[in-house]
Amino acid sequence: MAEIETVTVPAQTVRAQCEAILRAWGMSDEHVKMTADVLLETDLRGIESHGMSMLPIYNDMRGKKINMTPDIHVVKETPVSALIDADNGIGHIASTIGMGMAIAEAKAMGLAVVCVRRSAHFGAAGCYSDMAARAGMIGIVTTSARGITMVPTHGTVPVFGTNPISVAAPAGKHQPFNLDMATTPVAVNKLKVYWLKGKEIPEGWAYNEQGGSERNAERAFKTKRMAPLGGTRESGGHKGYGLAMVVNILSQTLAGTTFQPLRVKREGTDTPDNIGHFFLVIDPKLFREEGEFESDLDEMMDFLRGQVPADAAQPVLVPGDPEYAEKETRLRNGIPVPRMLADQIRDVCRKSNAAYLLEG
């Protein structure tokens, strides 16, 4: 299947386009900046499933499921913890605030945990764990999901979302370690990216309604029947399923939000998603002398990257390497935007009375 045409857009134009739409939706300048920062960073890293491609989805959800003028406030706080109510606002805002609070408290106390409740989709988890790493801290981020897409091991009906986990840690001479992973083989919106590009998805990402493997990206995105990370029980899918439940316990149960299948059963699908987020920050100096942790992590990274690869064209990498390399390329050359997405953004601009900036 031939790939769909793309247009290449400078990073600052992508930011300006996101800001124009968000501002047209009535968001405050402070909230616009927080959200656009995360959207742009996500696209620069090549995580196209969670960047600007989410704007058409948010447009359909605003006013009904997402509050564009939320009263985000702290419900409970101690020197090492906080609970934030996002007032059904877009998740990028409360998450930026929450991780900022966790970093500040960890600097003072050595570690801190912040939970967010009544939130919406927050984009790429790795953007928030990266905030901690850039501040010299270890950051662990999890979130529940708005979609019900993962079929549990031995099950036939989806019960969890993609329930991502991200862990970032500061190095010395190197970029931070940054693991950002779903507990399904990929994020759901990755299926949309393949659909927009006219590509089939790999074997094992999704199921069809009969329980077999689905390769058509459009059908997979529309039916949303994802395998757990690992796939079948024999190939370790029960571990992905178990990790998804751990994420729900930390992000949803701890924060006091509702398990999505039960929320939908009780409230219906048109109510706010009430997503929960979890942010844990640890200062390495709680255990190590200044610089020791970073030096040891540098040494580990150098050792791993120095391993003999199975294919000389594909060296051994450390989590975060592909995204950092992609960011450098996209800052230099621009961000590729599939023509279908550019058309969708144009339609969002028309419906929102926002300027369309991606072309011309």
CATH at 146: 3.30.1370.60
Residue ranges making up the domain that contains 207:
186-225
Res 16: pLDDT:
98
Q: Are residues 44 and 1 in the same domain?
A: yes
Q: Are residues 178 and 255 in the same domain?
A: yes
Total domains in the fold of the chain: 3
Q: Are residues 214 and 250 in the same domain?
A: no
Residues of the chain where predicted confidence (pLDDT) is lower than 70: 1-4, 360
Q: Are residues 284 and 301 in the same domain?
A: yes
Q: Are residues 26 and 121 in the same domain?
A: no
Res 212: pLDDT:
79
Using the structure block, give the residue that is written with the tokens 């790795």: 126
Q: Are residues 42 and 104 in the same domain?
A: no
Res 307: pLDDT:
97
Give the pair of three-digit tokens for residue 119. Answer: 């939130």
Res 1: pLDDT:
45
Q: Are residues 236 and 200 in the same domain?
A: no
Res 176: pLDDT:
98
Q: Are residues 178 and 208 in the same domain?
A: no
327 assigned to some structural domain: no
Res 231: pLDDT:
81
328 assigned to some structural domain: no
CB atoms within 10 A of CB 287: 10
User: Domain ends where: 194, 209, 225?
Assistant: 225
